[in-house]
Amino acid sequence: MIVDCPASCPFVGATSESLRFPPGQLHHVAAPGPGGGTEVDETKRNVLKLLAVAGVVAAGGGGLAGGALQFAQPPAVGLSSYPKVPLVDLDGSPLTMAKALAEYSYLTPDVITFNYPLRNEPNFLLNLAPPPGKSGGPSSVKGGIGPKSSVVAFSAICQHLGCPAPNLAYYPPGTCSGTPGGKQLYLHCACHGSTYDPADGASNLTGPAILPLPQVTLEWNQTDDTISAVGVVGPPVNGHLDTLQGDYPVGSTSQLSKQSPIILCQFPSG
Interaction site with ligand FES (CB under 6 A): 158, 160-163, 189, 191-194, 208-209
Select 87 or 156, whichever has its Cβ closest to ligand FES: 156
d(CA 92, CA 87): 10
Nearest distance in Å: CB 3, ligand FES: 8
Contact 144, 151 (CB under 8 A): yes
Select 16 or 223, whichever has its Cβ closest to ligand FES: 16
Phi, psi of 131, deg, nearest 5: -60, 160
Largest Cα–Cα separation, the chain: 76
Burial environment of residue 258 by CB neighbours within 10 A (0 to 12, 13 to 18, 19 or more): exposed
Select 144 or 162, whichever has its Cβ closest to ligand FES: 162
For the chain, percent helix, then strand, then coil, each to nearest 5? 15, 25, 60
Pairing relationship of beta strands 195-197 and 203-206 according to DSSP bridges = antiparallel
Nearest distance in Å: CB 76, ligand FES: 28
Nearest distance in Å: CB 221, ligand FES: 34
Nearest distance in Å: CB 60, ligand FES: 48
Select 161 or 199, whichever has its Cβ closest to ligand FES: 161
